[in-house]
Amino acid sequence: MASRRTELEHFPNLVTMFFTRAREKGDAPFLWAKKDGGWQSISWRRASEMVAGMAQGLRNLGMEEGDRVMLVSENRPEWLIADLAIMAAGCVTVPTYTTNTTRDHQHILGNSDARAVIVSTQKLAEPLIPAVLFASECHHIISIDDIITGQSPDVAKFHHWGDLVETEADLIAFEEEARQKGRSDLACLIYTSGTGGAPRGVKQHHGMILHNVEGCVDVIANDFGWDDEVFLSFLPASHAYEHTGGQHFPIGLGAQIYYAEGLEKLAANIEETRPTIMVVVPRLFEMLRAKMLKTIEKEGGLAAYLLKRALQIEAKRYEGRSSLLDAPMDAILSQTLRKKVRDKFGGRMKAMVSGGAPLNPEVGLFFQAMGLTMLQGYGQTESGPVISCNRPSAGLRMDTVGPPLKNTEVKIAEDGEICVRGELVMTGYWRNKDDTAKVLDEDGWLLTGDVGHLDEKGRIKITDRKKDLIVLDKGDNVAPQRIEGILTLQPEIGQAMVYGDRRPYIVALLVPDAEATRGMNAEEVKRALGEAVDRVNADLSVIEKVRRFIIADEPFTVDNEMLTPKQSIRRHKINAVYEERLGKLYKR
């Protein structure tokens, strides 16, 4: 069969898209993982057989149409196979983070009423099993690896992945059955934090994700050329960005997917696997840029000079001031510095797509100067998640997030809020009509909470955010009010503001409670606040934990404009005074 496609069909659902690609690609390699020191692959044909086998296995366990199945696993081939098998069985995938606590699992199990859980390892099973004890609807735990547990929940029966995936199944029958499902059918529930703190299940239907896939394929096919693409997956597959961009988008392209061994081995994995497209977050680029600058600074001499010239030429090109006088040096850079950098990234990278959090334009221009094409995407879980993406044909501007994907409507409300409409928009939050009504209007517009405008070329430029939700640099959503509320429940803490937008973790500004800390010296106050923060952290998830704090100079009041008349904190006023000091907490 042909190894590449020139167009993307209007598939009825994600399962049919996968089975179609598997038929076309046959025994060609599809999923790669490192085992016994080498990369081993699963072919498209074998993957389709495993999907059908696991889907039949789930049905044999009594899983029925619409049942939810929770998936707790690190990125690996089994993750994608499980996701597709759940959908092929007519069920709904509920991806969850590997960093979830027992309390997190309890909430998601209770809210989704998942009837089964697929978990990969012993480590991930340990916080999960206690949660299953409280989940009356969860009757099955399927382990990918061998799991030993001293607990035997009455509500759960253990099964092994290896047994279920080899269940005898009629692949053709599953393919035929899949074609009957529509784009409006529910595919998965992806939980994301709201302003109240409790994660809400975003109802992502098949068409929502397919709309994203079709739009992203349009960018690649028309701006870069669609060939035999290779992806390297390392962002959490439970996050909407990786779930769509790193799993289903490659399937739409008929691409190979390599699963990275971890962040510490990512650089080596990139050189080994030579990806053509990477889905990444800004924090990775910031780390790589810092490392590259440090290396070049150490080398000094010619390397430092070439870097300086590359940045100068790219800055002029970006500003539309390119000069023919730079052409000779530009050619030299392409054969020296840029070639060396591109080789470090495998030598055939078409584009690196940044999403999940805002990309600093300076970082984007640095990599453009190094000869690597940087695209910034924009979206949210409620939109599948991609709304827009930079593309060369629209002119790459690092201070924008590009034009909307095809078949995507975007309008700017009177107050500047960016609103989106189209098949990419969710149908609502699972069992949460109140929050759904806050973000979906009666005409089907998704109110993103972001403020911005469209430039002269139709590119979206984000200038602010209406909502207070903190987005960490890896794209995780954190509700500040929840953490602040818990902090101020501690007797030693009178007021609190947490900080961390676009940062790697949460820090806090604390006002000591005057009564509780009366008579203490500065060191004793700091120690007491530290103990209070430790108590709070014990009940917070990994991404919510307060890693460092500073003490405010004075309480927040209406008079100093740090409180509204309703006694709500005014973040922008507080940030104006303390942002520099809060920023220093990340440099220690």
Reading the block at residue 6, the tokens are: 């020139």
Among the residue ranges 70-84, 170-184, 197-211, 292-306, the one predicted with the least confidence is 292-306
Q: How far apart are CA 175 and CA 436, in angstroms?
A: 34
Average pLDDT score over residue span 321-328:
89
Give me the residues paired with residue 278 across strands: 352
503: left (phi over 0), alpha (psi -120 to 50) or beta: beta
Question: How far is the CA of 479 from the CAs of 193, 467, 497, in angstroms?
Answer: 7, 10, 11
- Residue 42's φ and ψ, nearest 5 degrees, are -115, 130
CATH 3.40.50.12780 assigned to 277-347+349-470? yes
Residue-wise burial string across 450-465, b where 16 or more C-beta atoms lie within 10 A, e elsewhere:
bbbebeeeebbebeeb
In degrees, rounded to 5, the angle at the alpha carbon of residue 94 between the alpha carbons of residues 238 and 84 is: 80
Q: For position 195, what pLDDT does the model report?
A: 44
pLDDT single digits (tens) 436-482: 999 999 999 999 998 889 999 999 998 777 777 788 988 888 888 88
Q: How far apart are CA 560 and CA 433, in angstroms?
A: 38
Q: Is the pLDDT of residue 49 over 70?
A: yes
- Closest by CA to 259, choosing from 440, 77, 128, is 77
Average pLDDT score over residue span 130-146:
90
Q: For position 281, what pLDDT does the model report?
A: 85
Residues composing the chain: 588
Average pLDDT score over residue span 371-390:
95
Q: For position 3, what pLDDT does the model report?
A: 43
Residue type, 238: S
Reading the block at residue 565, the tokens are: 């008349």
pLDDT single digits (tens) 542-558: 999 999 999 999 999 88
If DSSP states are collapsed to H, E and C, what string results for 76-108?
Answer: CHHHHHHHHHHHHCCCEEEEECCCCCHHHHHHH
Average pLDDT score over residue span 6-13:
80
Residues above pLDDT 70, as percent of the chain: 96
Reading the block at residue 134, the tokens are: 């409280």
Average pLDDT score over residue span 35-50:
96
Q: For position 526, what pLDDT does the model report?
A: 95
Q: How far apart are CA 66 and CA 170, in angstroms?
A: 21
Q: Is the dihedral of CA 501, 504, 509, 512 positive or negative?
A: positive
- Closest by CA to 250, choosing from 217, 225, 223, is 217
pLDDT tier for residue 156 given thresholds of 50, 70 and 90 = low
pLDDT tier for residue 1 given thresholds of 50, 70 and 90 = very low
Q: Is residue 460 within 8 Å of residue 388, measured between CB atoms?
A: yes
pLDDT tier for residue 320 given thresholds of 50, 70 and 90 = confident
Average pLDDT of the chain, as a whole number: 91
- Closest by CA to 195, choosing from 489, 432, 441, is 432
Kindly state which CATH superfamily the domain 14-205 is placed in.
Answer: ANL, N-terminal domain (3.40.50.12780)
**Beta-carbon neighbour count of residue 323 at 10 Å?**
10
Q: For position 80, what pLDDT does the model report?
A: 98
Specify the long-range contacts of residues 215-218, CB closer than 8 Å, at least 24 apart.
215/386, 215/389, 215/405, 215/406, 215/407, 215/408, 215/424, 216/245, 216/249, 216/252, 216/386, 216/389, 216/405, 217/8, 217/249, 217/252, 217/253, 218/8, 218/405, 218/406
Widest pairwise Cα distance in the chain = 80
Are domains 277-347+349-470 and 479-584 of this chain identical in fold?
no
Topology, domain 479-584: GMP Synthetase; Chain A, domain 3 (3.30.300)
Average pLDDT score over residue span 211-238:
95
Q: For position 165, what pLDDT does the model report?
A: 97
Q: How far apart are CA 563 and CA 368, in angstroms?
A: 43
Average pLDDT score over residue span 400-406:
96
Reading the block at residue 82, the tokens are: 């499980």
pLDDT tier for residue 153 given thresholds of 50, 70 and 90 = low
Q: Where are the domains of the chain?
A: 14-205, 277-347+349-470, 479-584
Q: Is the dihedral of CA 185, 188, 476, 459 positive or negative?
A: negative
Q: Is residue 585 within 8 Å of residue 500, measured between CB atoms?
A: no
**Residues 202, 198, 194, 241, Cα dihedral to 10°:** -50
